[in-house]
Amino acid sequence: MVTGAGDGIGREIAEALAREGAIVAVHGRAAARIAATLEAIEGAGGKAIPALADLMDEDAINAMCGEALDSLGGLDILVNNAGICTLQEVPRMTPETWKTILATNLTAPFLVSRAVYPALVESGAGASVIFISSIASAAHAAGWGAYAASKNGLDAFMHCLADELGAHGVRVNSIAPGWIETKMAQQLHKSLASAAGAPFEALYNENMRGNMLNALLTPDSIADMAVFLVSERGRFITAQTLAVCGGCVPGSGGGGSTAERAEALAGD
């Protein structure tokens, strides 16, 4: 099961797992959001089923997981990928925005993991859980408070779940992407550029390539790590947060927050 698999990182992971022979429950809020993923998997000869639920609704999550487990006959791999990002400094952030970010990025993965917990225990050794975290979990920059808190909490939850499920042979890890080329990244940069009066292309290119390799990272790089972690080759890796970011660690890539870079570019 891969949550948030309609596009971006989630879609790449779902398609990659299907290519390796997994039958994938492709999660989205509506059928239209995951249609392209299902079509791509089935068009390539893979097998997939839709898994529809609003992750803000606990009852919907439980129903979706129950139906998916019935269809799949169990669960060997769970990828908690779905997430949102809003960058706002504290005075501008409403409690509603804070709650929505934490509910989507932290509470929903807990609820999904809780719903399928017995199935993972039943699968035992060979089963694997992955959380898509972020290098922003360690970010200490203006505007990142809610998002960083949600991802930091996700990594902490991952460690605790790894200890619980480890007794059953189930491995649990996080993948922490840096800036990845996705619709979310584009929309976020457009918003920041517009707010600061900065050129979008310049800001986008500076941030997206703000890593030691000066590389533009794509979603398939995260999918490759996911496939490795759930495979036999990753059989002794658990309770780890593995960064895929081209060497973009907190404090590298030009320094300063994304908003500060937008303002600097506006000044140029």
| Domain CATH number, residue 47 | 3.40.50.720
The predicted pLDDT at position 262 comes to: 46
134 neighbors 190 (Cβ within 8 angstroms): no
Backbone angles phi and psi of 175, in degrees to 5: -110, 130
Residue 67 in any domain: the answer is yes
Residue 268 vs residues 4, 51, 72, 182, 262: alpha-carbon distances, Å: 38, 47, 55, 27, 10
- If one counts the domains in the chain, the total is 1
Residue 85 in any domain: the answer is yes
Question: What is the spatial distance between Cα 3 and Cα 60, in angstroms, rounded to a whole number?
Answer: 13
Helix (H) or strand (E) holding 79: strand 77-80
Look at residues 68, 180, 78, 175 and name the one whose alpha carbon lies nearest to residue 121: 78
Residue 28 vs residues 16, 111, 116: alpha-carbon distances, Å: 17, 15, 17
205 neighbors 217 (Cβ within 8 angstroms): no
Residue 135 in any domain: the answer is yes
Residue 204 in any domain: the answer is no
Residue 28: which domain range?
A: 8-180+217-248
Q: Which of 131, 144, 147, 179 is catalytic?
A: 147
Tokens of 186: 């584009």
Residue 255 in any domain: the answer is no
Look at residues 210, 188, 205 and name the one whose alpha carbon lies nearest to residue 259: 188
Residue 193 in any domain: the answer is no
Residue 266 in any domain: the answer is no
Spell out the per-residue pLDDT of the chain, length 268, in tens.
Answer: 999 999 999 999 999 999 999 999 999 999 999 999 999 999 999 999 999 999 999 999 999 999 999 999 999 999 999 999 988 899 999 999 999 999 999 999 999 999 999 999 999 999 999 999 999 998 778 888 999 999 999 999 999 999 999 999 999 999 999 999 998 888 888 887 887 888 988 888 888 998 999 999 999 999 999 999 999 999 999 999 999 999 985 443 334 455 554 444 444 4
90 neighbors 132 (Cβ within 8 angstroms): no
Residue 197 in any domain: the answer is no
The predicted pLDDT at position 140 comes to: 79
Instruction: Identify whether 204 is a catalytic site residue.
Output: no
68 neighbors 49 (Cβ within 8 angstroms): yes
